[in-house]
Every structure is written in structure tokens, then in C-alpha cells.
Amino acid sequence: MMHIMSEKGAAGGGLRERKKRATRAALAEAAVRLAAEHGAEKVTVEAISAAAGVSVRTFFNYFDTRDDAFVVIDADAGARIRRAVLDAPAALSPLEALHGAMAAELAETEQQHELWRLHAQVLRASPHLLVRSLGAHMADETALAEVIAARIRSGGRPVSESAPGSESAPGSESAPGSESAPGSDEERREALDLYPRLLAAVASTAVRTSVEHWCARQEEAAFLDVFREVFALLAAGLPAPHA
Amino acid sequence: MMHIMSEKGAAGGGLRERKKRATRAALAEAAVRLAAEHGAEKVTVEAISAAAGVSVRTFFNYFDTRDDAFVVIDADAGARIRRAVLDAPAALSPLEALHGAMAAELAETEQQHELWRLHAQVLRASPHLLVRSLGAHMADETALAEVIAARIRSGGRPVSESAPGSESAPGSESAPGSESAPGSDEERREALDLYPRLLAAVASTAVRTSVEHWCARQEEAAFLDVFREVFALLAAGLPAPHA
DNA sequence: ATGAAAAAATGCACGTCATGCAAAATTAGT
DNA sequence: ACTAATTTTGCATGACGTGCATTTTTTCAT
């Protein structure tokens, strides 16, 4: 049971942490594989737990809901994207920086054909799970918005940012100066609060739409090309195409 | 029980249809009111059913999931928006047409302060439901995308529209031998398929972001102004604001 | 108006999901 | 090796969600 693990992400120090990550990954992988074979709705928590070599109760110790096991495949992808946004060249606009960061992440994810493929297949088979997947992305959205806000405030200069991906102390995300910056102009402050939110949300939507479009016309075009096209449309202000 | 109903939307002819809508609305309203009072997680299906004056089994006859009762407050808002998009003046760009249609719908919704307020409060209290709400919007998204595509094809002229929500399924129009032919024609067809999808998805996102921002800085600005600002940013291509 | 057909509401049984609690097993630190 | 902290596990319990047969309500034709 759960011998070989990807050892992905930060190879944690403690043995305890490693085991926790291992069981979590084992559960998620078992869930996806079983769902790909028998259909997501026919896979019980008992089956997943058995395949991962743990008890049913332990499953619910790691996931709040049965569906979460199918959805949360890479827990710290969001952290990598945030780091990439902060490290992006100052010359890039926020939209371009986001595009680059997400494209890089998606390119990496695409390389692990096997599981990613199965995962997409499972989500496609039951739209119910696609929604939850989107919800998982939404959780990262506010954190991403704060990073975007920080980048804008700093004028694009690389932000040192204290411990970007560390989940060691959950609870208070301690974003850099989230409530200071009393703008002189009321409208500007309003915009500065609204813009990062909107940008983060739209970027998530861009990912989802690209995936959907790519799934519909599969193999007809490279995924990253679709993704690029989407960001081009966004940057152009979504102009009306001529029929 | 369930005496007075809003009689909103298409006042259906048959008595049967009316009663169905009535019980559905009664269940949704009961769910929201109870959730607003006791918290969504503490409200059982039994309580909702009792408050609406129907059996538990009937509840599941109307909603697939308990959470759906909190989320789906107006079932045919999507249909009204689609109709409005089709009826919009030809001079408007797709983005503007969507903005207008959604703004009109939201303005109407906002007038029923009471329930809308409670609904927002419930969703805010448990982000779990916010996700499902977003999912409900997603269901309408493809239908909306098809309407947008129709509007673009027709060049903006009023489309007589044969039941936008119906399943016409024009999917298999792809000509055989589409392998080669890498002309600009191909790219244009690709774009025409991608654009409506993206526009529908972004519009949904705009609604969500506006609501979130408006909830955060409540009463500080009118909701429709926030909504207008969001569409202005989108139309401008999400340019970087100057810090 | 009356009876038959169609649609909806209901009751019941059953399996799965999800949580709380306390005991057993595993790991960390000394 | 011993103790404390953390994790895993089993058991009990309540709620969710579905299938099926039955009863009630609505529609329609006569």
C-alpha cells in the first residue's frame, strides 16, 4: 500500500509530514483511478479507503467530503503560481504576469500525462465534480488577488514576500499590508481593491474556459495555444468578432 | 401554507405548472429563511419540507441536493437574460449587450430586498454554498454562450429565437478532412467557437466578483455602479492601474 | 358532471455519507 | 526506553439521497 509516491512539492522534513502527504496523495490517486474505471458516482468511500490502505474514518480525516478526493489533486499549485506572479519581470502588465505564471504551471502539469488525463476524464464524465473543482480554485482566488495587489503596489519590483508556500502556520494568511494604504483618492482606492479581485477571478475563468474548449475539440490544437488565445481576447477587451 | 407567491416569471397557463412553481418557490424560500436564522448547516431537509408544507420525499423530487434549495432562488433568471441578449440593439457589442441584460436582471432582483438580502447573507456565511451558487450559474453558461454565438452570427439583428434552451445539437457540422486546411478560415472558426464560451464565462465571473466586492464594502457604493465598473475594466482589456 | 388517464405527492425501505467520541497504534523528544 | 503528542481506527448515530409501490390531485374526453 502506497509505496511509491511522487515526492512532489516541498519534500518535507519530518517523517510525520511525509506520511500525511503520502496518505493524502494515495487517497486522491486511488479515488481518481477508481473513478476513471467505474465512474465517479459508483465509487464509495469504502472502496477508496481500501485501495489506499486506510480506514474509512481516516478518509474523512483528510477530506471533508467524498467528492473532494476527486478534485484536489495538487494542493500547492496555487502557491507556485503566486510565487511566479511575484517574481515576474516588472515590465509585464498584471494580466501578462498572470498569463505567464499560469501557463508555466499548466505546462508542467500537462507533462504528467497519466494522472492529469484521468483527472480531466473524471471531471468531464460528471459535471457535478467540475463545479467542485472550480470551487477549489476559488479558494485560492483571494490569496491570488492579494498577491496581485501587492505586485501593483510595489510597481512590479520583485517582492521578497515572507514564505510564499509554507503551510506551516495556517490560519492567518498574513498578506502584506492588506488593510493599510489609505489612498488619497477614493475612487482609486475602490479601483485598487476591485481590480485584483477581478483579475484573479477572470484568470481562473480563463483556465476553466480553455480547458472546456480544449476538451470539446480535443487534439485539434495544443492546449497552451488555446490558453494564449484566451488571454489575447481578454487583453483586447473582448472585442466583437466579425461574422 | 404557501399562500401568496410572487407569481414571477412567465405566469404559466396550466394550474399544474403554477402549483409546481409555487411549491418550488416555497421550498426555496423556507430553506433560505431557516438558514438565515439557524445557519445553513443546521437546517435539515425535514425542517425545510415541514416549513413548506410538503413531505421530505417531495423535497428531493424538486431538488437533487439539500444545498440546491439554498442556491437556486430564481430558476428562470437565465432564460430572461438570454432573451434580453437576443433583443438588445444591434449597435451594442456582445459585451455591452451582456452587460445591459445582466444589469437589468440584477436591478429587478435587487428590488426584492428582503429575500435577496437573506440569500446573500446565507451564501456569505458558508462559502461552501457560494461555490454551489457559482455552479448553478455555470449550468446556464453554455446556453448563454449559444445565444451569444447566435447573436454574432446574425450580425446583431433581432433573432426570432427558437427556444434558446432547447437541444438543437448542431455539433456534428465539422466537415470531414478538417485535418489540413490551416487557413485563416480555420482560425476564425476556432475563435468563433471560443469567443462566446469565454464571454459567457467572464460575464458570470463579473457578477460574482461584483457581488463579492459589494459585500465586502457594503453600502459604500451602489451595486450596479460596481457592476458597471467591472464591465468597464473588462472592455478596456484589464489595463494595469497605476499605483 | 363523471370516469379514466396522466402527473405529482407520499410513505417506506435501504445504502451511503459524515461526525463525534474514546480507545489503540504510531511518532517525537528526552 | 519512557512519556507526551499526534494519528489512526472502530463504533454509534443522524442526516442525505434513491427506488418502488401506493395514494392523491389534476387534466381531459365524453
| Dihedral over alpha carbons A21, A24, A28, A30 (to 10 degrees) | 100
Q: Which nucleotide's C1' atom has the smallest distance to the CA of B43?
A: D15
In the Cβ-directed half-sphere of A103, how many Cα atoms lie within 13 Å?
A: 17
Cα–Cα distance measured from residue B60 to residue B207, given in angstroms and rounded to the nearest whole number: 29
Note whether B210 and B223 are within 8 A (CB). Answer: yes
Chain B contacts of A188, Cβ < 8 Å? 241
Cα–Cα distance measured from residue B27 to residue B48, given in angstroms and rounded to the nearest whole number: 6
Q: Do A238 and B199 lie within an 8 Å CB cutoff?
A: yes
Residues in chain A: 243
Q: Do A237 and B240 lie within an 8 Å CB cutoff?
A: no
Whether the CB of B218 is below 8 Å from some CB of chain A: the reply is: no
Cα–Cα distance measured from residue A168 to residue B92, given in angstroms and rounded to the nearest whole number: 51
- The top-scoring range by mean pLDDT among A136-145, A177-186, B89-98, B175-184 is B89-98
Q: State the count of interchain CB pairs (< 8 A) between A and B.
A: 141
List of residues 6+ apart from A163 with CB closer than 8 A: none
B188 pLDDT band, cuts 50/70/90, is: low
For cell 481500501, the residue is A50
Classify residue B155 by its DSSP letter.
T
- Written in H, E and C, the secondary structure of A86-103 is HHCCCCCCHHHHHHHHHH
Res A160: pLDDT: 54
- DSSP letters for A53-97: TS-HHHHHHH-SSTTHHHH-S-TTHHHHHHHHHHHS-TTS-HHHH
Cα–Cα distance measured from residue B109 to residue B130, given in angstroms and rounded to the nearest whole number: 18
A58 pLDDT band, cuts 50/70/90, is: very high
Q: Is the pLDDT of residue A152 over 50?
A: yes
A166 pLDDT band, cuts 50/70/90, is: very low
C-alpha cell at A97: 504576469
- Residue type, position A5, single letter: M
C-alpha cell at A23: 496518505
Q: Is B44 helix (H, G, I), strand (E, B) or coil?
A: coil
Could you say which residues from 149 to 208 on chain B have a Cβ atom under 8 Å away from some Cβ of chain A? 152-155, 178, 188, 190-195, 197-199, 201-202, 204-206, 208
Nearest to B237 among A192, A206, A234 (CB): A234
Cα–Cα distance measured from residue B27 to residue B40, given in angstroms and rounded to the nearest whole number: 14
Nearest to A241 among B191, B197, B239 (CB): B191
Residues A5, A10, A13, CA angle at the centre, nearest 5°?
90
Q: Count each helix (H run) and each strand (E run) in chain B, helices first.
A: 10, 0
C-alpha cell at B145: 454562450
In chain A, the residue whose alpha carbon lies closest to the alpha carbon of B206 is A198
Q: Is the pLDDT of residue A187 over 60?
A: no
Res B5: pLDDT: 40
What is the Cα B102 distance to its own chain's centre? 9
Cα–Cα distance measured from residue A24 to residue A48, given in angstroms and rounded to the nearest whole number: 11
Burial (Cβ within 10 Å: 0-12, 13-18, ≥19) of residue A80: middle
Q: Is the pLDDT of residue A41 over 90?
A: yes
Classify residue A149 by its DSSP letter.
H
Note whether B202 and A238 are within 8 A (CB). Answer: yes
Residues A18, A21, A26, CA angle at the centre, nearest 5°?
120
- Segments in B39-161 forming alpha helices (H): 45-52, 56-62, 66-71, 77-87, 94-111, 113-125, 127-153
Note whether A197 and B209 are within 8 A (CB). Answer: yes
* pTM for the model: 0.78
Res A43: pLDDT: 97
Q: Is the pLDDT of residue A209 over 80?
A: yes
Burial (Cβ within 10 Å: 0-12, 13-18, ≥19) of residue B116: middle
C-alpha cell at B5: 407567491
Could you say which residues from 95 to 114 on chain B have a Cβ atom under 8 Å away from some Cβ of chain A? 95
Q: Do B138 and A131 lie within an 8 Å CB cutoff?
A: yes
Residues B26-84 pLDDT 10s: 999 999 999 999 999 999 999 999 999 999 999 999 999 999 999 987 778 888 999 99
Residues B234, B240, B241, CA angle at the centre, nearest 5°?
100
Res B189: pLDDT: 57
Q: Is the pLDDT of residue A8 over 70?
A: no
CA-to-C1' span, A16 to C29 (A): 14
Phi first, then psi, for residue B242 (nearest 5°) are -85, 130
Section A143-167 average pLDDT? 72
Cα–Cα distance measured from residue A117 to residue A110, given in angstroms and rounded to the nearest whole number: 8
Q: Which nucleotide's C1' atom has the smallest distance to the CA of A54?
A: D8
What is the Cα A179 distance to its own chain's centre? 25
C-alpha cell at B190: 476556432
Closest C-alpha to A201, from B205, B140, B129: B205
B122 pLDDT band, cuts 50/70/90, is: very high
